[in-house]
Amino acid sequence: MTVALNAGSHRSAAQGQLEVQDRLAVLKAGFLDRLMERCLQIETLMQQIERDGATDHLRGEIAHRAHKTAGVAQTFGYADLGLKAQEVERMWGRDFSPDRLEPCRMETERLMDAMEEILDRDMQSPGRIDEL
């Protein structure tokens, strides 16, 4: 009877772990969906900056989207993306100055490139978190 109970508990533990991994995979897929939306939003904001200049509002919107990306990227195994997003948030936010506009643009382009690379690689099959 002890053997049967142990075998059952091993099976249920393994099954529980699979359920957790499946739930995390669903959360990661949601993160990737939001990442695509943010990338497109940042691209649109950058186009508006080209047209209208780096207004406080537009800079704040980019910084906000970068902040949201930085806040969760590492959770899903994208530490480098998180660091890039933190840098973009800092540059467009508290450290912005008009004479640093070009470096802000370049860093934002690097962030969008990193987002697109992740989306190209992981969007079709986000897989399990332990596969990262």
Containing domain of residue 106, as a range? 2-131
H helix intervals, 53-127: 56-73, 79-92, 101-122
Q: Half-sphere exposure of residue 31, counting CA atoms within 13 Å on the CB side?
A: 26
The better pLDDT of the pair 110, 126 is held by: 110
Total structural domains within the chain = 1
Query: What is the spatial distance between Cα 89 and Cα 110, in angstroms, rounded to a whole number?
Result: 13
Taking the alpha carbons at both ends of the chain, their separation in whole angstroms is: 39
CATH number of the domain that residue 83 is part of:
1.20.120.160
> Which pTM does this prediction carry?
0.80
* Phi, psi torsion values for 97, nearest 5 degrees: -145, 145
**What confidence score (pLDDT) does residue 6 get?**
56
Count the residues in the chain.
132
Chain position carrying tokens 């990737």: 32
10-32 pLDDT, tens digit each: 568 778 788 888 888 899 999 99
Pick the residue with more confidence: 40 or 23?
40
User: What's the whole-number mean pLDDT along residues 88-96?
Assistant: 95
- Joined tokens for residue 10: 């091993």
Task: Calculate helix-pair angle for 56-73, 101-122, nearest 10 degrees.
Answer: 40
